[in-house]
Amino acid sequence: MTASTTTAVRFEIPAMDCAEEFRVIAQAVNELPGVENPRADYLSRVLTVDLDADHATQDMVADRLRDVGFPAIDPASANGSGSTATAFNPLFSRKAAIIAGTVLLALAFFAWLASLSSLAWCLGVASTLVSGWHVGLAAWKSARFSRIDMNTLMVIAASGAIALGEYFEAAVAMLLFGVSIWLESYSVGRAKKAVASLVGLMPQRARVIKKPSSDSGVQSRQPTLGGLVDEDMDDVDCLHVHKGDVIVVRPGERIAADGKVIDGSGSVDQSSITGESKPAAKTVGDGVFAGTLNGEAPLLVRATSCAHDSTLAGVAKLVDQARSSTSPTERFVDRFARIYTPSIIALACLIGVVAPIMISLLWAQPLGVHFATWFHRGLVLLVIACPCALVISTPVTIVCGLHEATRNGILVKGGDFLELAGQADSMIVDKTGTITEGRPTVSDVWCASGVTKEELLACAAALEMHSEHPLAVAIKSAANAAGVEQVAASEVTTIVGGGVVGKWNEQPAAIGNASLFENLAWTGCEDIKSYYAEVAEQTDGRSGTNAGSLLLVATESRPLGALLVTDVPREGAKAAVLEWRELGIKSIQMLSGDQPSVVEQVASQVGIDDAIGGLLPAEKFESLREMRAKGSRVIIIGDGVNDSPALAAADVGIAIENNVSDLALQSADVVLLAPRLGKVSDLIRLSRRTHQILWQNIAFAIGIKLFVLVLAAMGLATMWMAIVADVGASLLVIFNGMRVLTNKAGSSSRNRIV
């Protein structure tokens, strides 16, 4: 199968909560033709598979899941369709079993107090059967498929305890096991609510301005807020908002689609997307996100995407994908669990069966003298063999960390990148659009002899007509301001890291830096390069605040002039660099395709000592390889096409969502949804906090298990004590993992401009 022929299909499986169960499920569905790449989200208890519709159907997968004892509810494909199945609700059925089992156990206790031994035995066994009814059913399904899980171990342990006459212990253990499953489901439900889906931020309805019919005779014009009445608008489902539609957003309403303001001004609460608590001022021409909350004034917004292509929808999709990925620590825990469970079962067999036989043989005593004691110890060890607390400790913590990052406007595409961010010791940053604002302006114009400013700007704007690069936008803005008529050049070719070449007024023309003209075999190249050197000498002598990108404009035969395009550092960039150093980032390097003098100038303004300019994408990539070859873990921050190869190859590639290129967005591992460099510091702190809590959970889970294991081997633990320890460990790691959501790691970003 290939990615183009498959569809991601999701199945909600209430009974799946650990890696042991997922392995059984994965083995079962992988046997089906046309089903590949199963992946689990333990927190949401969702299984995702790649399904080839030509060979398999959702119903086939659902039937297989039901056969192996893990029925799914509401299987839904990526396009939102799906069948409705009968809901499988283990919470209610287990709750009823717990209540009935508790009543029977209480009656058994009173019968024992009344010296009614036979009745007490019957009531105790009945309590065990009722409390363990669903456990027994699950164990039976496991036996049918030749697998051993925690349900099987519990049935063996309870049966053995009853055989030894310990019916009270069997009843208490089974009852506590039922309570543990119910509590774990409840706790996971709390965690799911804490990291609720972003889809809930989307409004259900939108007011779209009616489009005039083609035969109405009404001339198409830019709509405005003035004079609008209800009859001018259609109330539609948000899913029916299309690109180009004009939406009326009233105060206090959520915006239905990504778009640009075409009339009105006010403030918009973008905290759901960017994590910034302060409302952002919006006026005509400003972009807005779907799902954000309009403030005190009405806005007229032209949609630039439909609902399923919005930034919010993309964030929700990527968060969902990230939750299905596994971090390095999760992979370690899964490998450990594969060894842990069979090892403890083997140890239980040694202690419960082999040990009494060996003692009987060595000391020549009857087997029955020690068998009951040692067999009971082995049964207790079987209860300890379940690794659920250990396995659930990692996904709960990682998922909470991913959602906390998203809540702060930091989109992390997987748990592995969340972990690696806090381990980085080196950083590479781009200049334009990353350290600087990315909104440069043409500050100086030099015209060659016999060339007017208008002619120079006309040629430059023509070559850059179809480019959205920040430098191109600045040039086109300067041409507009000068009243120059702009006609696009033909045969335009972009030279990455150099500039643009095309045909203007029927002759070859180009705009770019020095490296561009060194590689052009034009008749007037010597004159062009000589002119460039003269202008460059003038700019090098200017003050640092005026340093910028020097772009030469020329035709094939002669230079037309030069433009100095300047860009200022972002507000808070210097503070962010200082903060990175305080967080232990030892090496911070600025790499840029801009002129070396400009790059060095900007770097000195923000406190970066190591800066290299004039680099091509391949050279940036090579610098990264050299840094990683020295053993460094590298974070790269960029926003342009030039940064994409390095972003993809870095330990953690971070793109800034501010005129960021689509290629950089796809290549990056982390996306900052607001152009705030201080959010990189928040990511590092959150990563380290998540990593710390992650290993706390692992230590808790393993430590409690080992403690009870030692007590069991010494005969000082009972089955109910082992289950209490297992329940306590599970609840402890879940609630400790949810501490990531308290936002201590990233709280500073909501109240600052860095």
Residue 24 binned pLDDT confidence (cut-offs 50, 70, 90) = confident
Lowest mean pLDDT among 224-233, 552-561, 705-714: 224-233
- Best-predicted range by mean pLDDT among 30-34, 197-201, 222-226, 230-234? 30-34
Query: What value does the mean pLDDT take over residues 557-563?
Result: 88
* CA neighbor of 383 nearest in space, from 722, 66, 672: 722
Lowest mean pLDDT among 5-19, 125-139, 439-453: 5-19
Give 216 or 166, the one with higher predicted confidence. 166
Residue 687 binned pLDDT confidence (cut-offs 50, 70, 90) = very high
pTM: 0.66
Residue 683 binned pLDDT confidence (cut-offs 50, 70, 90) = very high
Query: What value does the mean pLDDT take over residues 309-332?
Result: 64
**Alpha-carbon distance values, 285 to 42, 265, 461, 497 (Å):** 43, 10, 21, 29
pLDDT at residue number 96: 82
User: Over 70: is that where the pLDDT of 406 sits?
Assistant: yes
Give 328 or 499, the one with higher predicted confidence. 499
**Alpha-carbon distance values, 488 to 465, 469, 492, 565 (Å):** 5, 16, 9, 21
User: Over 50: is that where the pLDDT of 754 sits?
Assistant: no
Residue 584 binned pLDDT confidence (cut-offs 50, 70, 90) = very high
User: Over 70: is that where the pLDDT of 744 sits?
Assistant: no
pLDDT at residue number 576: 93
Question: What's at 24, amino acid-wise?
Answer: V
User: Over 60: is that where the pLDDT of 13 sits?
Assistant: yes
Residues 228-255 pLDDT 10s: 767 778 888 887 888 888 888 888 888 8
Query: What value does the mean pLDDT take over residues 47-73?
Result: 84
Lowest mean pLDDT among 93-102, 376-385, 436-445, 540-549: 540-549
Q: Are 72 and 13 in contact (CB under 8 A)?
A: yes
User: Over 80: is that where the pLDDT of 438 sits?
Assistant: no
Calculated CA dihedral for residues 610, 615, 619, 622, nearest 10 degrees = 10
Query: What value does the mean pLDDT take over residues 259-264?
Result: 88
| SS3 letters across 511-526 | EECHHHHHCCCCCCHH
- Which residues does the annotation mark as catalytic? 430
* CA neighbor of 320 nearest in space, from 40, 602, 27, 554: 40
User: Over 60: is that where the pLDDT of 752 sits?
Assistant: no
Give 218 or 134, the one with higher predicted confidence. 134
| Backbone φ and ψ of 658, nearest 5° | -150, 95
User: Over 80: is that where the pLDDT of 304 sits?
Assistant: yes
Q: Tell me the Ramachandran region of residue 686: left when phi exceeds 0, alpha when psi lies from -120 to 50, beta otherwise.
A: alpha
pLDDT at residue number 681: 94
User: Over 70: is that where the pLDDT of 127 sits?
Assistant: yes
Residue 272 binned pLDDT confidence (cut-offs 50, 70, 90) = low
User: Over 80: is that where the pLDDT of 748 sits?
Assistant: no
Residue 77 binned pLDDT confidence (cut-offs 50, 70, 90) = very low
Tokens linked to 136: 């027994």
Give 20 or 349, the one with higher predicted confidence. 349
Query: What value does the mean pLDDT take over residues 593-606?
Result: 83
Query: What value does the mean pLDDT take over residues 427-434?
Result: 86
* CA neighbor of 686 nearest in space, from 313, 320, 415, 334: 415
Q: How far apart are CA 500 and CA 69, in angstroms?
A: 62
Give 14 or 418, the one with higher predicted confidence. 418
- Nearest 5°: the CA angle 172, 166, 181 is 25
Residues 494-514 pLDDT 10s: 887 788 999 998 889 999 887
Tokens linked to 28: 């079962």
User: Over 90: is that where the pLDDT of 123 sits?
Assistant: yes
Query: Which residue ranges form the domains of the chain, and what is each CATH number?
Result: 3-88 (3.30.70.100), 203-211+224-308 (2.70.150.10), 410-436+571-673 (3.40.50.1000), 441-566 (3.40.1110.10)
User: Over 70: is that where the pLDDT of 199 sits?
Assistant: no
Give 407 or 511, the one with higher predicted confidence. 511
Residue 44 binned pLDDT confidence (cut-offs 50, 70, 90) = low
Give 131 or 273, the one with higher predicted confidence. 131
Q: What is the mean pLDDT of the chain?
A: 78
Going across the sheet that includes 280-282, the strands are: 280-282, 266-269, 293-294
User: Over 90: is that where the pLDDT of 689 sits?
Assistant: yes
Share of the chain above pLDDT 70, in %: 79
pLDDT at residue number 663: 56
Lowest mean pLDDT among 19-23, 381-385, 669-673, 677-681: 19-23
pLDDT at residue number 608: 92
pLDDT at residue number 581: 93
Helices 453-463 & 470-481, crossing angle to 10 degrees? Answer: 140
- Bridge-based pairing of strands 652-656 and 634-638 is parallel
Helix ranges (DSSP H) in 132-284 = 133-144, 150-163, 167-194, 271-274
Query: What value does the mean pLDDT take over residues 662-668?
Result: 64
